[in-house]
Structure 1
Amino acid sequence: MISKTRTPRIPWIPVVVAAVLAALAAVLTAPGPAQAAAPASAGTVRHGLSQPDYSYANAIREAVWVDTGLDGDGRTDRVAVDIVRPSEPAEAGRKVPVIMDASPYYSCCGRGNESQIKTYDAAGNIVQAPLFYDNYFVPRGYATVLVDLAGTDRSDGCVDVGGPSDVQSAKAVVDWLNGRAKGWSARSGGAAVTAGWTDGEVGMIGKSWDGTIANGVAATGVRGLKTIVPISSISSWYDYYFHQGAPLQDGPEWLSDYVESDSAHANCAAEQQKIIDGSPRTGDWTPFWTARDYVKDAGRVRASVFAVQGMQDLNVRTKHFGQWWTALAAHGVQRKVWLSQTGHVDPFDYRRGAWVPTLQRWFDHYLLGVDNGIQREPMADIERGVDHWTTDPVWPAPGTRDTALTLGPTGTPGLGTLGEHGRPAAGATESFTDDPDLWEEDWAAAADTATPAKTAFTTGVLAKDLRISGGGTVTVTATSTTASAHLSAVLVDLGPATIRDHLAGGEGILTGTTRSCYGESTAGDSACFLDTSADKETVDHTVFSRGWADLGHYASLSHGVPLTPGRPYTLTIQLAATDHVVPAGHRLALIVAGTDNGLILPPDSTPTVSVDLSRSVLRLPLTGGAAALRTTPGAPAAGAVRTPAARRSAAPAPVLTPAAELG
């Protein structure tokens, strides 16, 4: 998860918040009883919204070290907790809820588009709290709590990359806020500190690793955690490092080393070795990954979930969102989602004017108990075009049904058809030879040209819009000429469009030079952040969903096997969740190939792979089901000649560093 974040400073200017979204008659899945309006004694809610009644300049700033219950050196490790909370409720004996961001990045790398880090005064109390949460929400009667995960910044312990130590170091703080754990005024020794100023109602928020920890803590079922807002976050760490056995990048030990504090570097060699030993590069699922799989514990989640995901995030891929969302739905968790066209980007940087008031209403409802109706509004906001958003009452979209599409041959090797036609006769095949120097953009640009490194299956020209809402699968029966083979499957919208340039450095946004302000400032902590705009590009095709797999893991993730050359193997590749409309006049393509350069690592051989079309099928969640797929009679399908629009000029594949930093 490579940090592409950047840092601000300007006096506070009041910001006018955009009008909140109109309530519609849709209901979130499994709604609970409406919460009563916050009591007047809370002193922060008027006209259905928390109000900036309290002074940010006079806020209480303090540091507490909370016992995690984990023993690293003969005493329990303590994690550093920096708190900014309004002084007026404390003086009046009123208790406040908490917005909490637990992160490994507060000193090593920074948070947000401007790479803000924590800064401190001479007494060790926080001066700059990264991001806008403290500036905006503390005046509205919330405390903000920023936790250094174990082994980072000012905390004891060791980083274990999403494992029990990471999760427990944040969960312990929720317990302390609810009187179930011990806190101290110093990292060692010190006086006992309690959190008598809070009512124990906690909401966790964060992007990337931060949001991942929110998922992990919620999956413990800890009491007092009322809601989480995970942004581009991992739901199972195996799926960050592998996709069905195919390696996405090097091992997690690089990431732990990257974020550890100096003291952790000196003391955590044994933990680092456990990470290496537990995560072999075979692609096999081990107990290490089981301990970092939050999806399996979705049934323990008590908190509501407001998930945010960039549909073109090639860092934390949308598989994480999709499988987490599906598991939460199965257990009736209240939830909401925003799906953007960006890559690994915070909504504050692509839809700021709507994000801040929506987040405020979400926290007001779940932490202050305000019956503002947000739980009855549309479940999903989706960026359909650049800065053009639509809503759905539930997600996936109503009327969406899995639909089987068959892969058929044409007279041109490497080019096939895609549709509802009958399965081809036994013996129909298409073949490709793995070329690890090519990636999905190379394949998609040549979707109508026979090339040796891929095979492309396309529909005819669509007679009406076709919406794919959710995650699909591709089942292939494949034969390799060598003992190892990696497979890629990508969905492509063939036709011109203007999209966010998610492959550029800002992953769909441009950072400007002006600033807008959200909340109040002090000399050491500005509420004013650099403005952003959409980074657009005109294309003639759009890759919108992907999946990868190691053919040697065809039978089980637990243990991959060498392939027998010439023997057929059947494998189902999971395609990442998406919500994309292929417009009328465009075509839908499925490309099956080998190494997706920059997104998966190549196998240790260079196989030629043959796909048995009679035993292969694409299943897609089509809104409207099979009836939604209609093509224009006589319109060209595979092999059609297109006049391309201005496509990104030979966009290079993303560079896989030893592990992209999550931020």
Structure 2
Amino acid sequence: MTSARFSAPAAAVLVFSVFPAGAAGQTGLVVEDGQAQIVPAFADSSSWIRHELWVETEFDSDGDGRPDRVHVDVTRPAQTDDEGLQVPVIYETSPYYSGVAGVDLQHFWNIRQEVGGEPRARDPFPPTIAHVPSQPRISRSHVATWVPRGFAVVHSQSPGTGQSQGCPTVGGANESLAPKAVIDWLNGRARGFTSVDGDEEVRADWATGRVGMTGTSYNGTLPLAAATTGVEGLEAIVPVAPNTSYYHYYRSNGLVRSPGGYPGEDVDVLFDFIFSGFPDVRDYCLTTVRDEMTANLDRATGDYSDFWASRDYLNHIDGVRAATLMSHGFNDWNVMPEHSYRISMALRERGVPLQIFYHQGGHGGPPPLELVNRWFTRYVAGGENGVEGDPAAWIVREGADREQPTPYASYPHPEAEGVALRPGGDGHWTGVLSLEGPADDRGGDPASGTIFDNFSFAGGQLAAAEWSNHRLLYATPELSEDVHLSGVATVRVRVSADAPAANLSVWLVSLPWTESDDLNDNVITRGWADPANAGAEEIASPRSGTPLKPGEFVELEFPLQPDDQVIPAGARIGLMIFSSDREFTLHPDPGTTLSVDLDGTRIELPVVGGSAALRRALGVPAS
């Protein structure tokens, strides 16, 4: 499909006002081509009204016996006072607005640990983020974009950060209830005060009560967190690269796994990273929140537990009613694309209005403003611009401008079908990956492969090596035409190990491996799992407690990260299976030996056009 600009299917120009009917003569939003336009009367920044307040929540997370209050700032058009205008709100909340501790790996968990073994004690960050006693302007994000269009912009600081009371909980209930309280205040259901401990109230009489939330990374997680409460007034969210499950952020299919670029980070490390709140509650928060995290995060087994389930927003998805425009990068190896995919699929099943924007880059990257504008104009401002009829998925194609995504009817591509490929031959060199039958018909002996684990070798080194006994690599013949993959590849591996537990890593790559500053030029997608979880009803459920036995094979099946990529003609699609992934997994002592039964191993690729398309590209006659 060709790329397209966003256009309103209805009338080209629609002008309407957001104040109550009957308040004639007031300034209002102007909508053109389905998007709220800059209005000169709103655009004079010198006239904007700015103020701060503290909103009372329904929780007490710092143990002082009083409901915590969260710090809020507001920027709104002058007409909200001069003309009594009521306006919709764009809202962002964050734990980062008052600074962070910085990345100091000596305070992370030591990843030189045996898989399944006891972790080494961590040296926590000292709680030395300088507390900012006053911060009337929390952030300037979104102000220049939305206030000139007739919206108010609101920011708030997460509990236990900046001038917000409470303790950070990193996915705990108060992170959902804090933005809910702010939205309740915007609708007259919660109390706001002019100071953190005073009793002078401030009301949001200038707000329509209709709110849209957005943000990136942690700031993109919190709109979803708020939406799970079902709070009335939160009409739309635009989460960008959101972390939708702290288990999936720090674990993968039962395996302890770091987010890309942060080896040894875990939920208690993130607590230390953001804890900028009031000094007088720091000792309480450390002993009652962070120490509890450390006791429950379980870096020995990597098991899913009640602790992790409470921090998994998929378990609270039934509360979401806000129209969702999800955004993510397919090469985001920090907050991986499964986070947006799993939530999007659940919202689609529940009939929540949904659009998806994916790009080919890394962490972050919001949708084009036109797309966000149409979304907020329709659901927050209430303009009937026909966005419901727009394509459900927008994907930036390889090498394209991120502002020019290609529209699709859905994601995954509606014509994508799973096609199974099986490995054969000697994977220490490069074996074969084909559509054909048993392993001995796909490259001859051996019908198994052996991996000698050594974390010293990075995945890129292993994929580029002509020969290595630290990985198994199997590849298709050169493609005679492009192959479009769209969706989730699933790998099934039959494996044994001579240790009680081991890492298992799988990369899908494009060969030949090329020298590039961007690893993503070669990596299609990846996945990681714990073979000791084989046989569980769900791969993320607690393991049976039975260690791996030497020579005894187990079978496991798990998804790789979602992707949408066109593999060009002339390339080969490669399946690489190895043990420790230097950039993501624990680093056990080298020497564990894994054996892979090729007859019990396969990968299913989501190919647009299905088996027929892949057969054409591989020059294989139709079956």
- 208, 212, 217: which one aligns with 1:203: 212
* Counterpart for residue 298 of structure 2: 280
Query: Does the Cα contact within 8 Å between 2:427 and 2:472 map onto a contact in 1?
Result: no
Query: Does the Cα contact within 8 Å between 1:86 and 1:143 map onto a contact in 2?
Result: yes
* Counterpart for residue 119 of structure 2: none
- 553, 556, 559: which one aligns with 2:542: 559
* Counterpart for residue 419 of structure 1: 434
Is it true that 1:472 corresponds to 2:489 in the alignment?
Answer: yes
Tell me the SS of whatever aligns to 2:378.
helix
* Counterpart for residue 452 of structure 1: 469
**Displacement after TM superposition at 1:381 (Å):** 2.4
Is it true that 1:400 corresponds to 2:416 in the alignment?
Answer: yes
Stretches of structure 2 that go unaligned for 5 or more consecutive residues are: 20-26, 103-131, 259-263
How far apart, in 1, do the equivalents of 2:608 and 2:316 lie? Answer: 29
How far apart, in 1, do the equivalents of 2:483 and 2:8 lie? Answer: 28
Amino acid paired to 2:66: R
Query: Could you say if the C-alpha distance between residues 471 and 412 of structure 1 is closer, same or farther in structure 2, counting changes exceeding 3 Å?
Result: closer
- 284, 294, 302: which one aligns with 2:313: 294
* Counterpart for residue 31 of structure 1: none
Question: CA-to-partner distance for each residue in 1:602-623, whole Å, 9 max, x for gaps?
Answer: 3467421111111122112111
Tell me the SS of whatever aligns to 1:345.
coil
**Displacement after TM superposition at 1:413 (Å):** 4.7
Is it true that 1:624 corresponds to 2:609 in the alignment?
Answer: yes
Stretches of structure 1 that go unaligned for 5 or more consecutive residues are: 1-18, 26-35, 112-120, 348-353, 504-538, 636-663
Amino acid paired to 1:387: A
Query: Could you say if the C-alpha distance between residues 110 and 196 of structure 1 is closer, same or farther in structure 2, counting changes exceeding 3 Å?
Result: farther
Is it true that 1:236 corresponds to 2:245 in the alignment?
Answer: yes
Tell me the SS of whatever aligns to 1:106.
coil
* Counterpart for residue 602 of structure 1: 587
Amino acid paired to 1:144: V
How far apart, in 2, do the equivalents of 1:598 and 1:39 lie? Answer: 53
* Counterpart for residue 508 of structure 1: none
**Displacement after TM superposition at 1:23 (Å):** 5.3
Amino acid paired to 2:140: P
**Displacement after TM superposition at 1:377 (Å):** 2.2
* Counterpart for residue 489 of structure 1: 506
- 87, 94, 104: which one aligns with 1:96: 87
Question: CA-to-partner distance for each residue in 1:21-62, whole Å, 9 max, x for gaps?
Answer: 24589xxxxxxxxxx974475611143442333132211111
Query: Could you say if the C-alpha distance between residues 478 and 110 of structure 1 is closer, same or farther in structure 2, counting changes exceeding 3 Å?
Result: closer
Larger deviation, residues 57-66 vs 258-267:
258-267
Give the alignment's TM-score, normalised by structure 1: 0.78
Query: Does the Cα contact within 8 Å between 2:427 and 2:471 map onto a contact in 1?
Result: no
Alignment of 1:47-446 (within 5 A): 47=32, 48-50=34-36, 51-52=38-39, 53-54=41-42, 55-71=44-60, 72-109=63-100, 125-126=136-137, 129-131=139-141, 133-249=142-258, 250=264, 251-263=266-278, 264-269=281-286, 270-281=288-299, 282-347=301-366, 355-388=368-401, 389-407=405-423, 409-410=424-425, 413=428, 415-424=430-439, 428-446=447-465
Amino acid paired to 1:182: R
Query: Does the Cα contact within 8 Å between 2:480 and 2:569 map onto a contact in 1?
Result: yes
How far apart, in 2, do the equivalents of 1:498 and 1:565 lie? Answer: 38
How far apart, in 1, do the equivalents of 2:133 and 2:468 lie? Answer: 65
How far apart, in 2, do the equivalents of 1:414 and 1:554 lie? Answer: 28
How far apart, in 2, do the equivalents of 1:633 and 1:472 lie? Answer: 18
Query: Does the Cα contact within 8 Å between 2:454 and 2:590 map onto a contact in 1?
Result: no
How far apart, in 1, do the equivalents of 2:136 and 2:619 lie? Answer: 71
Question: CA-to-partner distance for each residue in 1:496-527, whole Å, 9 max, x for gaps?
Answer: 8899x556xxxxxxxxxxxxxxxxxxxxxxxx
How far apart, in 2, do the equivalents of 1:497 and 1:38 lie? Answer: 55
Amino acid paired to 2:459: E
Question: CA-to-partner distance for each residue in 1:377-417, whole Å, 9 max, x for gaps?
Answer: 2222222222344221221112111222222x225655322
Tell me the SS of whatever aligns to 1:368.
coil
Tell me the SS of whatever aligns to 1:69.
coil
Which structure's residues are more often strand, by fraction? Answer: 1
How far apart, in 2, do the equivalents of 1:385 and 1:633 lie? Answer: 22
Instruction: Calculate the aligned-residue CA RMSD, in Å.
Output: 2.7
* Counterpart for residue 121 of structure 2: none
Alignment of 1:17-56 (within 5 A): 21-22=6-7, 38-39=16-17, 41=19, 43-47=28-32, 48-50=34-36, 51-52=38-39, 53-54=41-42, 55-56=44-45
Paired-residue identity, %: 35
Query: Does the Cα contact within 8 Å between 2:391 and 2:410 map onto a contact in 1?
Result: yes
**Displacement after TM superposition at 1:491 (Å):** 0.9
Query: Does the Cα contact within 8 Å between 1:322 and 1:471 map onto a contact in 2?
Result: no
Tell me the SS of whatever aligns to 1:169.
helix
Query: Could you say if the C-alpha distance between residues 401 and 495 of structure 1 is closer, same or farther in structure 2, counting changes exceeding 3 Å?
Result: same
How far apart, in 1, do the equivalents of 2:413 and 2:438 lie? Answer: 28
How far apart, in 2, do the equivalents of 1:471 and 1:239 lie? Answer: 16
Query: Could you say if the C-alpha distance between residues 439 and 328 of structure 1 is closer, same or farther in structure 2, counting changes exceeding 3 Å?
Result: farther
Query: Does the Cα contact within 8 Å between 2:177 and 2:229 map onto a contact in 1?
Result: no
Tell me the SS of whatever aligns to 1:61.
strand
Tell me the SS of whatever aligns to 1:253.
helix
How far apart, in 2, do the equivalents of 1:106 and 1:634 lie? Answer: 56
Amino acid paired to 1:294: Y
**Displacement after TM superposition at 1:601 (Å):** 1.8
Larger deviation, residues 384-393 vs 185-194:
384-393
Question: CA-to-partner distance for each residue in 1:525-551, whole Å, 9 max, x for gaps?
Answer: xxxxxxxxxxxxxx9x51021100111
**Displacement after TM superposition at 1:88 (Å):** 0.5
How many pairs were matched up? 550
Question: CA-to-partner distance for each residue in 1:610-655, whole Å, 9 max, x for gaps?
Answer: 11111122112111111121366789xxxxxxxxxxxxxxxxxxxx
**Displacement after TM superposition at 1:576 (Å):** 0.3
Amino acid paired to 1:450: W
Query: Does the Cα contact within 8 Å between 1:257 and 1:265 map onto a contact in 2?
Result: no
Query: Does the Cα contact within 8 Å between 2:211 and 2:380 map onto a contact in 1?
Result: yes
Query: Could you say if the C-alpha distance between residues 152 and 502 of structure 1 is closer, same or farther in structure 2, counting changes exceeding 3 Å?
Result: farther
Amino acid paired to 1:21: F
Is it true that 1:573 corresponds to 2:558 in the alignment?
Answer: yes
Query: Could you say if the C-alpha distance between residues 497 and 387 of structure 1 is closer, same or farther in structure 2, counting changes exceeding 3 Å?
Result: farther
Question: CA-to-partner distance for each residue in 1:47-99, whole Å, 9 max, x for gaps?
Answer: 34423331322111111211121123111111101111112033322211111
Query: Does the Cα contact within 8 Å between 1:457 and 1:590 map onto a contact in 2?
Result: yes
How far apart, in 2, do the equivalents of 1:164 and 1:214 lie? Answer: 13
Amino acid paired to 1:594: S
Question: CA-to-partner distance for each residue in 1:215-265, whole Å, 9 max, x for gaps?
Answer: 222122222111111111111110111111221233211111111125253
